[in-house]
Amino acid sequence: MKITSAEFISSLTELNNLPADGKPEFAFIGRSNVGKSSLINMLMQRKNLARISATPGKTQTINHFLINNQWYIVDLPGYGFAKAPVKMRSQWHKMICDYLKKRENLFAVFVLIDSRLAPQKIDLDFLVFLGEEKIPLVIAFTKADKLSKTKLKSNLEAYLQKLAEEWEPLPPYFITSAETGEGRSEVLEFIEKLV
Protein backbone atom coordinates (compact mmCIF):
# COMPACT_ATOMS: atom_id res chain seq x y z
CA MET A 1 0.00 0.00 0.00
CA LYS A 2 1.31 3.44 -0.92
CA ILE A 3 0.60 6.22 1.58
CA THR A 4 -0.43 9.27 -0.42
CA SER A 5 -1.88 11.32 2.43
CA ALA A 6 -1.96 11.22 6.23
CA GLU A 7 -3.66 14.01 8.13
CA PHE A 8 -4.56 14.66 11.73
CA ILE A 9 -8.35 14.93 12.07
CA SER A 10 -9.32 15.09 15.73
CA SER A 11 -8.26 14.63 19.33
CA LEU A 12 -11.31 13.81 21.46
CA THR A 13 -12.49 12.19 24.67
CA GLU A 14 -16.21 11.74 23.90
CA LEU A 15 -17.26 8.78 21.75
CA ASN A 16 -20.25 10.59 20.26
CA ASN A 17 -17.94 13.31 18.87
CA LEU A 18 -15.68 10.89 16.94
CA PRO A 19 -15.72 10.94 13.12
CA ALA A 20 -19.07 9.67 11.89
CA ASP A 21 -18.16 8.79 8.29
CA GLY A 22 -17.95 5.02 9.01
CA LYS A 23 -14.48 4.62 7.46
CA PRO A 24 -12.45 1.62 8.73
CA GLU A 25 -10.42 2.30 11.87
CA PHE A 26 -7.22 0.61 13.05
CA ALA A 27 -6.43 1.42 16.66
CA PHE A 28 -2.91 1.40 18.11
CA ILE A 29 -2.46 0.84 21.83
CA GLY A 30 0.20 -0.40 24.21
CA ARG A 31 1.84 0.18 27.55
CA SER A 32 3.17 3.68 28.08
CA ASN A 33 6.54 4.19 26.34
CA VAL A 34 6.23 1.16 24.03
CA GLY A 35 7.01 3.30 20.97
CA LYS A 36 3.47 3.84 19.68
CA SER A 37 3.88 7.32 18.20
CA SER A 38 7.23 6.34 16.66
CA LEU A 39 5.64 3.29 15.01
CA ILE A 40 2.70 5.32 13.63
CA ASN A 41 5.12 7.92 12.23
CA MET A 42 7.27 5.18 10.68
CA LEU A 43 4.25 3.50 9.02
CA MET A 44 3.13 6.83 7.56
CA GLN A 45 6.70 7.97 6.79
CA ARG A 46 6.04 11.26 8.59
CA LYS A 47 8.29 12.68 11.29
CA ASN A 48 5.70 14.36 13.49
CA LEU A 49 2.28 12.98 12.58
CA ALA A 50 1.87 11.42 16.03
CA ARG A 51 3.56 13.34 18.84
CA ILE A 52 6.49 11.56 20.45
CA SER A 53 7.24 12.23 24.10
CA ALA A 54 9.84 11.01 26.56
CA THR A 55 7.13 11.25 29.24
CA PRO A 56 5.00 8.10 29.52
CA GLY A 57 1.27 8.73 29.31
CA LYS A 58 1.44 11.73 26.96
CA THR A 59 -1.45 10.55 24.76
CA GLN A 60 -4.60 11.31 26.74
CA THR A 61 -7.25 11.45 24.02
CA ILE A 62 -8.53 9.38 21.10
CA ASN A 63 -6.58 10.73 18.11
CA HIS A 64 -7.79 10.12 14.56
CA PHE A 65 -5.50 10.33 11.51
CA LEU A 66 -7.13 9.97 8.09
CA ILE A 67 -4.99 7.91 5.72
CA ASN A 68 -5.36 8.12 1.91
CA ASN A 69 -8.86 9.59 2.56
CA GLN A 70 -9.96 5.95 3.03
CA TRP A 71 -9.25 4.76 6.58
CA TYR A 72 -8.10 5.92 10.00
CA ILE A 73 -5.23 5.19 12.31
CA VAL A 74 -6.51 5.75 15.84
CA ASP A 75 -3.88 6.55 18.46
CA LEU A 76 -5.21 5.53 21.88
CA PRO A 77 -3.79 6.42 25.31
CA GLY A 78 -1.32 3.86 26.65
CA TYR A 79 -2.20 1.60 29.54
CA GLY A 80 -0.05 0.99 32.59
CA PHE A 81 2.33 3.53 34.09
CA ALA A 82 1.52 7.16 33.43
CA LYS A 83 2.31 10.27 35.43
CA ALA A 84 -1.33 11.17 35.96
CA PRO A 85 -3.72 11.19 38.93
CA VAL A 86 -5.67 7.97 39.61
CA LYS A 87 -8.98 9.66 38.73
CA MET A 88 -7.65 10.72 35.32
CA ARG A 89 -6.26 7.25 34.62
CA SER A 90 -9.63 5.73 35.47
CA GLN A 91 -11.31 8.15 33.02
CA TRP A 92 -8.86 7.07 30.29
CA HIS A 93 -9.60 3.42 31.11
CA LYS A 94 -13.35 3.94 30.70
CA MET A 95 -12.86 5.98 27.50
CA ILE A 96 -10.61 3.28 25.97
CA CYS A 97 -12.92 0.40 26.96
CA ASP A 98 -15.99 2.21 25.61
CA TYR A 99 -14.20 2.91 22.33
CA LEU A 100 -12.97 -0.68 21.94
CA LYS A 101 -16.32 -2.27 22.81
CA LYS A 102 -18.68 0.12 21.03
CA ARG A 103 -16.93 1.42 17.92
CA GLU A 104 -18.59 -0.43 15.04
CA ASN A 105 -16.10 0.54 12.34
CA LEU A 106 -13.09 -0.64 14.39
CA PHE A 107 -11.50 -3.22 12.07
CA ALA A 108 -8.57 -4.25 14.29
CA VAL A 109 -6.57 -3.24 17.36
CA PHE A 110 -2.79 -3.29 17.08
CA VAL A 111 -1.45 -4.12 20.53
CA LEU A 112 2.15 -2.93 20.75
CA ILE A 113 4.56 -4.99 22.85
CA ASP A 114 8.19 -4.14 23.58
CA SER A 115 10.18 -7.02 22.09
CA ARG A 116 13.01 -6.46 24.60
CA LEU A 117 10.92 -7.52 27.59
CA ALA A 118 9.77 -10.83 29.00
CA PRO A 119 5.98 -11.34 28.82
CA GLN A 120 4.32 -8.71 31.04
CA LYS A 121 1.12 -9.52 32.94
CA ILE A 122 -0.46 -6.18 32.00
CA ASP A 123 -0.06 -6.92 28.26
CA LEU A 124 -1.28 -10.49 28.59
CA ASP A 125 -4.33 -9.35 30.60
CA PHE A 126 -5.14 -6.73 27.97
CA LEU A 127 -4.91 -9.31 25.18
CA VAL A 128 -7.24 -11.64 27.11
CA PHE A 129 -9.70 -8.75 27.58
CA LEU A 130 -9.75 -8.13 23.81
CA GLY A 131 -10.18 -11.85 23.14
CA GLU A 132 -13.06 -12.15 25.61
CA GLU A 133 -14.77 -9.14 24.05
CA LYS A 134 -14.20 -10.64 20.56
CA ILE A 135 -12.35 -7.53 19.42
CA PRO A 136 -10.09 -8.33 16.42
CA LEU A 137 -6.47 -7.86 17.43
CA VAL A 138 -2.98 -7.93 16.00
CA ILE A 139 0.29 -7.85 17.94
CA ALA A 140 3.11 -5.55 16.88
CA PHE A 141 6.39 -6.31 18.62
CA THR A 142 8.27 -2.99 18.73
CA LYS A 143 11.92 -1.93 19.05
CA ALA A 144 13.24 -5.03 17.24
CA ASP A 145 16.42 -3.12 16.34
CA LYS A 146 17.35 -2.74 20.02
CA LEU A 147 18.45 -6.36 20.50
CA SER A 148 20.40 -9.03 18.64
CA LYS A 149 18.65 -11.39 16.21
CA THR A 150 19.26 -14.30 18.62
CA LYS A 151 17.84 -12.44 21.62
CA LEU A 152 14.87 -11.22 19.56
CA LYS A 153 14.13 -14.79 18.43
CA SER A 154 14.29 -16.18 21.99
CA ASN A 155 12.12 -13.32 23.38
CA LEU A 156 9.49 -13.89 20.68
CA GLU A 157 9.48 -17.63 21.28
CA ALA A 158 8.96 -17.05 25.01
CA TYR A 159 6.11 -14.64 24.29
CA LEU A 160 4.38 -16.89 21.78
CA GLN A 161 4.72 -19.83 24.14
CA LYS A 162 3.05 -17.79 26.89
CA LEU A 163 0.29 -16.71 24.51
CA ALA A 164 -0.30 -20.33 23.47
CA GLU A 165 -1.49 -21.03 27.05
CA GLU A 166 -4.57 -18.87 26.34
CA TRP A 167 -4.82 -18.64 22.57
CA GLU A 168 -5.49 -21.09 19.78
CA PRO A 169 -4.76 -20.13 17.10
CA LEU A 170 -2.34 -17.36 18.05
CA PRO A 171 -3.29 -13.81 17.02
CA PRO A 172 -1.48 -12.47 13.93
CA TYR A 173 1.75 -10.66 14.83
CA PHE A 174 4.40 -8.47 13.24
CA ILE A 175 7.97 -7.61 14.21
CA THR A 176 8.60 -3.88 13.84
CA SER A 177 11.23 -1.22 14.29
CA ALA A 178 10.52 2.51 14.02
CA GLU A 179 14.27 3.04 13.52
CA THR A 180 14.86 0.67 10.59
CA GLY A 181 11.35 0.52 9.11
CA GLU A 182 11.14 -3.24 9.71
CA GLY A 183 7.57 -4.54 9.44
CA ARG A 184 6.23 -1.49 7.61
CA SER A 185 5.26 -3.19 4.34
CA GLU A 186 3.80 -6.23 6.19
CA VAL A 187 1.61 -4.09 8.48
CA LEU A 188 0.37 -1.91 5.60
CA GLU A 189 -0.34 -4.97 3.47
CA PHE A 190 -2.36 -6.48 6.33
CA ILE A 191 -4.38 -3.26 6.67
CA GLU A 192 -4.86 -3.00 2.89
CA LYS A 193 -6.38 -6.49 2.76
CA LEU A 194 -8.89 -5.61 5.50
CA VAL A 195 -9.78 -2.24 3.94
The pTM of the full predicted model, rounded to 2 decimals, is: 0.90
Helix, strand, or coil here: 154?
helix
> Mean of the pLDDT values across residues 109-114?
96
pLDDT per residue over 66-90, tens digit each?
999 999 999 998 776 555 556 655 6
Left (φ > 0), alpha (ψ -120 to 50) or beta: where does 181 sit?
Answer: left
pLDDT per residue over 126-156, tens digit each?
999 999 999 999 999 999 999 999 999 999 9
Pick the CATH number of 6-194 from 3.20.20.70, 3.50.50.60, 3.40.50.300, 3.40.50.920: 3.40.50.300
- CA–CA dist 164, 84 (Å, integer): 34
Neighbours of 15 (CB within 10 A): 12
